[in-house]
């Protein structure tokens, strides 16, 4: 399945083109991510256009691909089990988000950071195939897409971006990021220190503007420290109508140090006479934490694995979800 051949994406389905491109980028790095990305693209496309001949061609191709992939990987729980698949996709998206967030907070602004934030946002979108997003994932998705647009527009206009969230801490992360409907200028509240910059604003991402970011060569499952470099081509301006089928270059991959998320400090569990009663909700959530821990170990991320195992133990021992 390394060379997936699908009919071209018609103009009526340009909204899903970027998820198809994302899937192509992952075909060799992490095929399971490609599988879930194409499933998300199919579900989205079915809501947009299932009648035109061009759309039916793509939809049929996607259905055939998904059916064949699932048969070929029937022994892979990340394909056959939603919990395993969700753990893998969320972990890949979280890795990208944390790297871009670390670069942003260190004030290392460049097109690569823009692209990684934007790709993380796409992967968080893909997580919707597993159901409603958790509060953390929804918050990170909104923040990643806002940051991608904000840093891009700052670099384009020659302004210096302000690192981190608007308020300077994590409390408002992902909140109050986009302008309301009817705001034709697309301007939102500026971060501290940015007020007064003439002609400076950063609109929330729009589907028709998403090609301005392109897609980076994202890290695969075998080496999560690999981060994409930036191609020399300039991104499409925010308000220029892009081609339905933009071409992306394949950049070289450097090896910067990955910024790891801080692990939750371990607190010994108090003796409580054993496990709490195993309700379906507790069992499902504990299984999810364990899946996330296993997925983190696949990426040699011990801190995240330990953090998720602690959460599973706390839940099983006290019934409290931390």
Domain boundaries, the chain: 11-212, 260-322
Burial of 274: CB neighbours in 10 Å, binned 0-12, 13-18, 19+: exposed
Quick one: fold of 11-212? 1.25.40
Burial class (CB in 10 A: 0-12, 13-18, 19+), 31: buried
Q: Is 237 helix (H, G, I), strand (E, B) or coil?
A: coil
The model's pLDDT over 5-58, given as tens digits with 9 standing for 90+, comes to 899 999 999 999 999 999 999 999 999 999 999 999 999 999 999 889 999 999
Angle between helices 31-48 and 111-126 (to 10 degrees): 70
104 burial (CB, 10 Å; 0-12 / 13-18 / 19+) is buried
pTM (2 d.p.): 0.59
Tokens read off for 221: 């499952």
Q: Residue 289: is its pLDDT beyond 50?
A: yes
Instruction: Please write the tens of the pLDDT for every residue from 290-316.
Output: 877 787 676 667 878 788 888 888 888
Residue 193 has pLDDT above 80, yes or no: no
Sign, CA torsion 115/119/124/125: positive
Residue 317: predicted pLDDT: 84
Architecture of the CATH domain 260-322: Up-down Bundle (1.20)
Confidence class for position 282, pLDDT limits 50, 70, 90: confident
What pLDDT is stored for residue 157 in this prediction? 95
Structure tokens at 305: 């694995």
Distances (CA, A) of 80 to 29, 32, 50, 75: 19, 10, 26, 8
> CA 281, CA 267: separation in Å to the nearest integer?
23
């Amino acid at each position: 399945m390394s060379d997936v051949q699908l009919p071209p994406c018609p103009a009526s389905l340009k909204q899903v083109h970027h998820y198809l491109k994302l899937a192509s980028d992952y075909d060799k790095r992490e095929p399971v991510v490609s599988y879930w990305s194409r499933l998300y693209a199919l579900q989205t496309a079915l809501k947009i256009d299932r009648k035109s001949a061009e759309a039916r061609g793509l939809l049929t191709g996607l259905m055939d691909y998904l059916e064949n992939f699932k048969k070929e990987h029937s022994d892979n729980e990340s394909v056959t089990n939603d919990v395993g698949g969700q753990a893998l996709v969320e972990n890949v998206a979280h890795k990208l988000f944390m790297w871009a967030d670390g670069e942003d907070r260190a004030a290392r602004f460049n097109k690569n950071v823009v692209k990684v934030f934007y790709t993380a946002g796409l992967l968080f979108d893909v997580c919707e195939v597993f159901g409603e997003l958790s509060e953390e994932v929804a918050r990170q998705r909104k923040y990643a897409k806002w940051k991608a647009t904000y840093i891009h527009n700052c670099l384009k206009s020659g302004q210096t971006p302000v690192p981190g969230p608007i308020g300077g801490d994590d409390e408002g992360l992902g909140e109050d990021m986009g302008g309301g409907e009817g705001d034709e200028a697309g301007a939102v509240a500026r971060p501290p220190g940015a007020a007064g910059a003439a002609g400076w604003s950063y609109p929330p991402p729009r589907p028709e503007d998403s090609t301005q970011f392109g897609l980076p060569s994202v890290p695969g499952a075998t080496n999560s420290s690999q981060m994409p470099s930036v191609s020399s081509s300039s991104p499409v301006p925010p308000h220029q109508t892009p081609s339905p089928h933009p071409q992306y270059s394949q950049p070289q991959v450097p090896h910067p140090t990955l910024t790891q998320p801080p692990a939750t400090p371990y607190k010994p569990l108090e003796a409580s006479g054993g496990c709490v009663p195993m309700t379906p909700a507790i069992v499902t959530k504990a299984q999810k934490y364990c899946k996330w821990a296993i997925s983190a170990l696949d990426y040699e991320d011990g801190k995240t694995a330990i953090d998720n195992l602690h959460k599973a133990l706390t839940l099983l021992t006290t019934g409290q979800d931390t």
